[in-house]
Chains A and B, each alone.
Chain A
Amino acid sequence: DTGVSQDPRHKITKRGQNVTFRCDPISEHNRLYWYRQTLGQGPEFLTYFQNEAQLEKSRLLSDRFSAERPKGSFSTLEIQRTEQGDSAMYLCASSLHPLGGSTDTQYFGPGTRLTVL
């Protein structure tokens, strides 16, 4: 299966620690997205990349959050000095954005569940 993969699937950390998550998109997808989903809510957009360029960031993405996609393939999302409010499911999605088009389907990974104690 060559779907979107995320690692780790679960992460438990203590408040104040840094954590890093990885996302491997579907091969040849040029866009990669990060979302956050809390219990009982739909996913909320955090940021997205087209190839290696980070093109948009949500206001939800505080200074403690940073995302990279250095070679236009996999991406990492780092949270520094974690807080209990960061506890959530972090979802990654990828898509193949057509040239000159605006509508593409996003394919989601299984998510990384973060628990901050």
Chain B
Amino acid sequence: GNSVTQMEGPVTLSEEAFLTINCTYTATGYPSLFWYVQYPGEGLQLLLKATKADDKGSNKGFEATYRKETTSFHLEKGSVQVSDSAVYFCAPKWNGNQFYFGTGTSLTVIP
């Protein structure tokens, strides 16, 4: 069946460090791919998305590229800030109408 595997956390980085959070999905068809973020005390927010192979989603300095060959959608940011501390969820969406959320990766950025 459809599923997603996300890098486990927690992840702790110093400010201005490079961030990668890995996400892979099972290769049954071609889902749309999303990253959602949950800041402390807030609801889930869409961070970025990509709907077809080789598309790159970007927002707030974060990027992720839809890699059909490796069924991956890794999240990257070149220089993290303290305000990026949050939980990040990878969420493929196949032709149905439900997201398949990963378990989430908690990121803490220290000054």
Give the docked Cα–Cα distance between A44 and B104 (Å): 12
Residue of A nearest to B91 (CB): A42
Q: Is the CB of A56 within 8 A of B42?
A: no
When the two chains form their complex, are residues B97 and A103 in contact, meaning their CB atoms are under 8 A apart?
A: no
Q: Which residues of B contact A (CB under 8 A)?
A: 6, 32, 34, 36, 42-46, 49, 51, 89, 91, 93, 95-104
Q: Are A48 and B43 in contact (CB under 8 A)?
A: no
Number of residues on chain A facing chain B (CB within 8 A): 24
User: Is the pair B97, A41 in contact by a Cβ cutoff of 8 Å?
Assistant: no
- Interchain Cβ contacts under 8 Å between A and B, 24 examples: A33-B97, A33-B98, A40-B103, A40-B104, A41-B103, A42-B6, A42-B102, A42-B103, A42-B104, A43-B89, A44-B101, A45-B99, A48-B98, A56-B98, A91-B43, A91-B44, A105-B34, A107-B46, A108-B43, A108-B45, A109-B43, A110-B42, A110-B43, A111-B43
Interface residues of A (CB under 8 A from B): 4, 31, 33, 40-45, 48, 55-56, 58, 91, 93, 102-103, 105-111
Structural contact, A31 and B99, CB atoms closer than 8 A: no
The answer to whether B103 touches A43 (Cβ under 8 A) is no
Question: Which of A33, A41, A91, A103 meets B51, CB within 8 Å?
Answer: A103
A41, closest chain B residue (CB):
B103
